[in-house]
Each structure stands twice: as structure tokens, then as C-alpha cells.
Structure 1
């Protein structure tokens, strides 16, 4: 009886293993079959080379008539008008902080879906009103975040070389602009080869093909990624966009944008810098933040636009401190 059960168990395990291998095999062939109709970035680790794209909307006065101390670059989906409006009313509207000029612009790709044409017309009309949208001709999607990031760096390297710093920040973040400027004005902060944020050290390369962030060994053989600042928000000195672009052609771009940034930094021999306090950048905060915690942060993830706006309003109160 026991022998029969063992045989049955062994047979079931073999069948399960065979099914798993077959699914992975079919998945890879599905990707290959779609490659011509879509692009490899829809299902593989790589994305199309970022410098194959161009800007189709770029009439913002930022860095044209004057050189800001800090440029805030906000990647955003074309359809996400609500986030852009909220940012324009809150931290994106802070233009002069501690005597330093701040500029905020949004970067986006092409809309998709059945109403793409109408979305694009809406984007054009919005930009006529605000002149703060930078658009490139890649398809705006999660899998194309690396392309969006590299186009952002390309724009900065050409347009904003006289600015001191840039911060890339996502739309779901609350940004305490005064704390950010205070950090950058500190004499101990480097003016070149400087990049900081919530730095991921010794981040493991995930090998499970069913994981969202799966990365095969033929792309990255090492078991750990080079250190990189988490993509939710990071700051860099304005010499870095050009330097990163200079080495980017030597590394085939992967779809995980902050990992790719870390790969470029490693090739440059530049390591990210941890912020002075670990309370400055928080990816999973416990909400609601106390006044004391709020007074120390630079950037934190929020759960909604109203929550972000409440944090901004509270940060402007004179008693919002420890």
C-alpha cells in the first residue's frame, strides 16, 4: 500500500513539474510571437533603446529664461489630470524656497487605448494653459518607465545644465520642499556625482519567472543588483544626467527603471549616498503622520490625492514640528 502511495505521489510531482516547465516554455514562445506585433518590452526584461525617441511637446519656459536651483521632474500618465492639478496646487506650486528658485514640470509619453486621440487633444489643451508638460513619442506604460526616465535625463542634460539639482518624484508622493532645499543647501552635500533617496543596498535579483520583477541570469548574472535609489523619489546633481546618458548605450536597458539607473551608476563608478536621516524618505509610512514625523520628511508615499493635500497643508502650519 505504502509503495503504491509513494509511486502515485512521485507521479503527481512529475506531472506538476512538467506542467510548470510547459507553462514557462509557452510563456516564452508567447513573447516571441508577440515581438513583431507589440515589442519585446511587453513580456521580456529589455525595453527599446531610450534614445530612439524624440520630444513632441516641449514649450515649457523652465530652464530657458532663468536657471533654477532645483528642477522637480514628475513622471505621469497622460490621463492622470487629477494628480497634475493636485501637484500644481500644492508642492509643485512652491517657486521660491529659502531664497532658491524651484521649477516643476511633468514628463509623459503617448496615451493608449480606444480614446488615445481624445486624450492627446486633452493633453495639448492642458499644456496650452500651463506650459509645464514635456511629452515624448514612446507609448506611456509601466513597462516603459525606463524609457521615460532616460528621456527625462536627456531633456535635463540638454536644457538644464546650469541648474544645480533635479529631483525625480512620482505623483503619489508628498514632497516637503523646504526640507529638500534645506538638505541641498547643506555644505556637506556634494555638488557633483551626487544622488540620494531611499537607497536599496544588496537588493536580490529575483529568479522566479512568475514574479513581477523576474530577471533572468542572461541579463544579470550576479545575485544582487548594484545599489540604486528607489524610483519613487530621488535627487541628483545636474552633472549626472549627461554622465548617465554617456554610459547608457553600453548597457542594454531593462524595464525596472531604478535598477537600470543603478547599473549605469556602477559603470560610472558612482555610488548613491544615503540621506542624513532614514526618516527623510519613506516608502511605506504609517498613516497618518504625526506633526513631528511630518516635520522631518522629504518625500513619503501617500494613499490618495486628498491625503497628499492634507499633508501639504499641515506642513505649511507654523506648529508642524516636534
Structure 2
């Protein structure tokens, strides 16, 4: 694992980890009408696009998408550099639901929908992630960095963008997030995620970034996508990306500013420093965004430090049964 550093990748010049050309992945345009019912092919027309954010969302989560649209996704520049936020969705169950989705897409023009057109051993979120990577390679190769997240997450785009701009290195070989270490494979034969020793003999899974929010540079998008054709492990999507990254020779970079799956107790200076906070309701997104706007300006180092101590202490207390029940009682009072 790397810790908030970048190294220039030795894998470059349009080849993957085995030296093969990436050219074949661009043939995806030929099957676009089948693989992507909502393709949004012109979403990345800006050749100077700095950061593309793909927000994974359930087709029925329109209220959550609207909350994201009017809060943290309501920005097009970070320190003068163009950013673009798109929602990535899977298949609908009925023609009526698809019609509603198409109408939403026509209104906002910020959606991509993908579904598999071939028999695949990948399922659910893993398959959706691979489709998202394929879409980026096909339609958004200009984006220097791609952030993948969920519609229940508050994402601090200015902080993430500032961090990426401050790396002062070539934008290559970056797989950035909250790194999970020494995670054991699922060895329960009755579990849908069962990973038999014959398929994966190691005691621990490779280090990987928690899938709630993470960033890939454009070259890593390609490497992970190419490696995905050779990885067929029944694991969660974020573990799958980690396996593909390992196969491609890419090590994850850790930043504790990503909250992972944690919901961080709100504090204005804490949230200005952190990159993300998970499990946010629509009301919380609205409240946090309004408060961030009303309390404009920067936080001093002292206020940032005290804010981090406060929000992390309260986050810890929120997990304790007594404080949790007290909080729930107050919220329902």
C-alpha cells in the first residue's frame, strides 16, 4: 500500500500489464445501443476535463439523485478545472420504469445506463462497475481522473480536487481511497461470496480501496478493465477492483480523509477537510450543503483539527448502543 504518494507507472504508452494494445476496448462503441440504453456519448466533450465523477444509483432512487444534484454535484469547476458528475444506473424491471428513467435523463442529461448483453459470471455491483469502466474508456478517455461513489455519499469535490492538483506528479498509476488491509476471503461454502482456496489460496485478500468512494487515474481505468477479463472471483465489487489492480501491477494509495462506509457526525470544519461521508439521507445532504454555504470561508488549522477531533469522537459515540438510542429518541421526539 502507498500512503498519499504517487509514482510514475512503468505501464504506459497504450499497453496493459501484459504488453497488449488497448485499441480493442474502443470497439465498445459498436455495441453501445445494446450495452448502454442511455449512453450519453457527449457527456465528456470538454477535452480539458479534470475529474469525472460516476455516482452509482439504483433506478428507483430519484429522490436521492435529486438531492445529490442540488447539493455537492451542483458544481462544474474545482479551482478553475472542469469537473463532470454523472449517475450510473443498471437495468429497469419494466418498460414503464424505463420510460420514466429516459424522461429523467432528458431533463437532466447527467445519466448513463448500462446492462450486460453477454453471459457473464459477474453479477450485480461488480458487473455494473465493469460496465462503468468500459463506458469511461469508450466515451470519456479525456478525463484525467475518475471518482466512483454512491448516491448516499456526501463527496467533497473541492477537497479531492485540491488534493489531486497538489500531487505535482504525472497523473498515472493512481488508485486512491480508504485502503482495506488484511481482509480475509469468504470461506463459508454456504455463502454466495464463497471464495474456495482452490480459486484463491492466499490467507488475505489483496489490499483494495473501500468501494464507497475512490479515485482512479485514466490509465488505471484501462488496466483494471483489461484485467477484469481474467478475474472471475465471486467477490464484492471493491474487492474485485482490488484483484484486477493487483493483477495489473497497481498498488492502492491510502488516504484517511475518505470515510469509507462510515457516516461521519457533522461538523463544518471536519466536513471541509474530509473527502467523503457515507449513509447520508436526502435531508442530511440538504442540511450539510446549506450549512457549508452559509458558513463560507476557510477553516484555520486549529479549527480543522478541533473539528476533526469533535466529529470523530461523536461518530464513535454514535456507534455505542446507549448514545445511539438516545440520538434516535431525540430525532423522533
User: Same-fold call, TM > 0.5?
Assistant: yes
Question: 2: CA distance between counterparts of 1:96 and 1:62?
Answer: 15
Per the alignment, residue 91 of structure 2 pairs with 110
1:88 equivalent to 2:66? Answer: no
Deviation at 1:309, TM superposition (A): 2.2
2:257 aligned residue (260, 279, 283): 279
Name the Cα RMSD after superposition. 2.3
Map residues 47-126 of structure 1 onto 2, 5 A cutoff. 54-59=35-40, 61-112=42-93, 116-126=94-104
Q: Which of structures 1 and 2 has the bigger CA Rg?
A: 1
Question: 2: CA distance between counterparts of 1:274 and 1:205?
Answer: 21
- Describe the superposition over 1:226-256 as per-residue Cα deviations: whole angstroms up to 9, x where unpaired: 1110110100111111111222212115341
Per the alignment, residue 13 of structure 2 pairs with none
Deviation at 1:285, TM superposition (A): 3.6
Residues 302 and 308, structure 1, Cα contact 8 Å, conserved in 2: no
Deviation at 1:143, TM superposition (A): 4.7
Structure 2 unmatched ranges of 5 or more: 1-27, 304-333
Deviation at 1:192, TM superposition (A): 0.3
Question: How many pairs are equivalent?
Answer: 264
1:218 aligned residue (198, 205, 225): 198
1:134 equivalent to 2:112? Answer: yes
Question: 2: CA distance between counterparts of 1:237 and 1:160?
Answer: 12
Deviation at 1:206, TM superposition (A): 2.5
Per the alignment, residue 15 of structure 1 pairs with none
Deviation at 1:183, TM superposition (A): 0.5
**More off after superposition, 80-89 vs 247-256:** 247-256
Deviation at 1:59, TM superposition (A): 2.6
Per the alignment, residue 184 of structure 1 pairs with 164
Residues 42 and 139, structure 2, Cα contact 8 Å, conserved in 1: no
Residues 161 and 239, structure 1, Cα contact 8 Å, conserved in 2: no
Question: 2: CA distance between counterparts of 1:296 and 1:59?
Answer: 33
Question: 2: CA distance between counterparts of 1:167 and 1:176?
Answer: 11
Q: Secondary structure at the residue paired with 2:245?
A: helix
Q: 1:128 to 1:120 in 2, by over 3 A?
A: same
